[in-house]
Amino acid sequence: MASSRSSIRELHQQLIRKERSAVEITQQALDRIQALEPTLHSFLQVTADHALEQARRVDARIAAGEDIGLLAGVPIGIKDNLCTKGIPTTCASRILENFVPPYESTVTQKLADAGAVTVGKTNLDEFAMGGSTETSAFALTTNPWDTSRVPGGSSGGSAAAVAAGECVVSLGSDTGGSIRQPASFCGIVGMKPTYGLVSRYGLVAFASSLDQIGPFARSVEDAAILLGAIAGYDPQDSTSLKVAIPDYTQYLTPDLKGKKVGVIEETFGEGLDPAVEKAVQEAIDQLKSLGAEIQEISCPRFRYGIAAYYIIAPSEASANLARYDGVKYGARIPDAENLMDMYTRTRAEGFGTEVKRRIMIGTYALSAGYYDAYYLKAQKVRTLIKQDFEQAFGQVDVLVSPTAPSTAFKAGDKTTDPLSMYLIDLMTIPVNLAGLPGISVPCGFDSQGLPIGLQIIGNVLREDQVLQVAYAYEQATEWHQQTPIVT
């Protein structure tokens, strides 16, 4: 079955010229989902009736002669940790298996207001904790390039759905690399914005000082359009930034003359797959040929990111997940002997292994006598990592590195070794700790035909520079035009 590979702008033109209706576009996406889901398992919930109703509303507006925005009628997938009113939001966890939110997250409301069509809720690692989408309680999402491999995580369903053409764009959340790493594994564009640029209201919290919602797309322009639609101040999120949101597409120019690009030394060397290193070095040469000035930059504390992250993130998770106790919402074991029995058994049966592991690490790190030794020290290291980045951005406009140290690994390869799974986020975690924007763009393939991603990192609120460099690189290469063949 042919998939629609049209961009947001192309779909917009087709709609306003009345070459296709929003219902036709939506039905094509739903047909593709139906054909591919037995293989991919990208979606936990397909919202066909809801999507067609949204599409009909767009068609009615066009018929009435109203102007429609760029996202009107565009099929989109939503990561299943974003609350959607009246539609189950499970976080891929048994504990929220039957939870239907009574309210809408800010970003999904913004997309609905823009006329976007939600085709379904995508699979993820349970509570967004994982790097392969293997910790989901419900399904194992496969990588469209090689279905024996993982799509990355935690936003693996969102990445696989876009890569396979089941939807045009999708939303993910990124706490330590959960948008950029699956984008790299699935050969698409994935962006984590500056912390606070996009409202987290209605995002089920994992680690509140790190979580950020962002777009997946097949092109930098589509990612820029989607980012513009979801960004902006929200009084319902106390960490939301009061800043003007520009039209990000105005920065998409093919010329990099005068741009200073820093290559993070610490992201090369031991542990990096040679094929990834070769592809990223060639991408850096390409940036140079586009007029960018390249220089080596040292971020000496970069390597401590993982150690700091795996104290800070589980500590925040331990606090955030305390609310799942069988009282107000979510699962509750039916035959508890007393309150404590209900708490303990509900949590023991409701949470998966990785979530329990992180709750225990976090609770330990926050416990009396250990708080100073672990959590406080990790926050100090976080400050040092931020300072490294500040120093770097005193010299260059953007920084580049590989997105992930390897290409997609086989399902099951790392499930028994949590540490090797954690190391997959080596390059992405420091960006979250510093609250910076970062993007992954396709920059090549290894010998097995698996995609490789280039990470571009910007200073706080410099999405414009990140997108410009990403766009110039994308337009000068053909990697983003390659698509997997899924049957």
- Which active-site residues does the annotation give? 79, 154, 178
- Closest among 157, 165, 230 to 192, alpha carbons compared: 230
Residue whose token pair is 């496969």: 142
Read off the DSSP letter of residue 194. P
Compute the distance between CA of residue 401 and CA of residue 433 in angstroms, rounded to an integer.
16
Sheet with 169-174, strands from edge to edge, namely 43-46, 117-122, 75-79, 169-174, 212-217, 189-192, 438-445, 451-458, 398-402, 260-264, 293-297
User: Which residues, at least 6 apart from 367, have a Cβ–Cβ distance to it below 8 Å?
Assistant: none
326 and 346 Cβ atoms separated by less than 8 Å = yes
Coil, strand or helix at 372 = helix
Report the C-alpha gap between 101 and 85 in whole angstroms: 5
Is the CB of residue 401 less than 8 Å from the CB of residue 439? no
Assess contact for 162 and 218: CB atoms under 8 A. Answer: yes
Instruction: Note the helical H segments in 97-246.
Output: 106-113, 156-163, 180-186, 220-230
What are the tokens at 409?
Answer: 């690994």
| Token pair recorded at residue 49 | 């009736």
DSSP code string of 261-277: EEEEGGGSSTT--HHHH
Cβ atoms of 232 and 199 within 8 Å: the answer is yes
Tokens linked to 259: 């741009």
Structural element, H or E, at residue 260: strand 260-264
Q: What secondary structure letter does DSSP report for 82? A: B
- The distance from CA 87 to its chain's CA centroid, rounded to whole angstroms, is 21
How many Å apart are CA 150 and CA 256, to the nearest integer? 34
With a CB cutoff of 8 Å and minimum separation 6, the contacts of 128 are 79, 81, 91, 154, 155, 173, 175, 178, 206, 211
